[in-house]
């Protein structure tokens, strides 16, 4: 017996269609149903498209475990881009190597890693935009907060 071929996008749509109000994620007291999860994924997908992301672009994630990591992975699949996971234990040199050699166009991270990102900016990176999950404090030029990134984005399927 073999399982049917299914993409991440197809999997989420199928599951959300069958159990929109069923719980999917519980993270530090925050709960998301399949329907809520799909709406967040759609918002993130629209946000990347609004920034000019396209099929085949590489979107790097330097994130700890959090719902936004999952939203981003599924959104990247939704728009046909490729996600590049980066280990949060990597040094600045290792992160720079991954970003440079993957030719990532976007990086999603947390404010904790912004000093590390600033330290590798002199490398030949193709990053068009850095998105930080929270905080409006000390951000490098061109860095968006997560709230700015998803503000006004549609929750409909892109």
Tens place of pLDDT per residue across the chain (158 aa): 676 777 777 777 776 667 788 888 899 999 999 999 999 999 999 999 999 999 999 999 999 999 999 999 999 999 999 999 999 999 999 999 999 999 999 999 999 999 998 888 877 789 999 999 976 555 676 789 999 999 999 999 99
What pLDDT score was predicted for residue 3?
A: 67
Pairing mode, strands 82-85 and 58-62 = parallel
**What is the distance between the alpha carbons of residues 120 and 126, in angstroms, rounded to a whole number?**
12
What pLDDT score was predicted for residue 98?
A: 96
In which residue are the tokens 């068009």 written? 128
**What is the distance between the alpha carbons of residues 134 and 11, in angstroms, rounded to a whole number?**
29
Q: Is residue 1 part of a domain?
A: no
Give the pTM.
Answer: 0.89
The helix-helix angle for 34-50 and 8-19 (nearest 10°) equals 140
**8 Å CB contact between 69 and 41:** no
What pLDDT score was predicted for residue 81?
A: 97
Q: Is residue 158 part of a domain?
A: no
What pLDDT score was predicted for residue 123?
A: 79
**8 Å CB contact between 134 and 111:** yes
Q: Is residue 2 part of a domain?
A: no
Q: Is residue 123 part of a domain?
A: yes
**8 Å CB contact between 40 and 70:** no
Tokens standing for residue 22: 């069923």
**8 Å CB contact between 77 and 8:** yes
Q: Is residue 3 part of a domain?
A: no
Residue 52: which CATH number?
3.40.50.980
What pLDDT score was predicted for residue 13?
A: 74
The domain total for the chain is: 1
């Amino acid at each position: 017996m073999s399982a049917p071929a299914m993409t991440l996008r197809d999997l989420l749509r199928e599951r959300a269609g069958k159990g929109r109000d069923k719980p999917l994620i519980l993270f530090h007291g925050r709960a998301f149903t399949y329907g809520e999860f799909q709406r967040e994924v759609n918002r993130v997908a629209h946000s990347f498209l609004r920034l000019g992301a396209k099929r085949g672009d590489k979107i790097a994630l330097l994130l700890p475990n959090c719902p936004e990591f999952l939203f981003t992975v599924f959104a990247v699949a939704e728009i046909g881009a490729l996600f590049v996971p980066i280990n949060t234990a990597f040094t600045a040199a290792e992160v720079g190597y991954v970003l440079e050699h993957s030719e990532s166009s976007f990086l999603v991270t947390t404010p904790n890693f912004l000093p590390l990102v600033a330290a590798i900016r002199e490398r030949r990176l193709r990053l068009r935009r850095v998105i930080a999950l929270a905080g409006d404090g000390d951000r490098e030029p061109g860095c968006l907060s997560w709230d700015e990134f998803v503000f006004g984005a549609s929750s409909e399927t892109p």
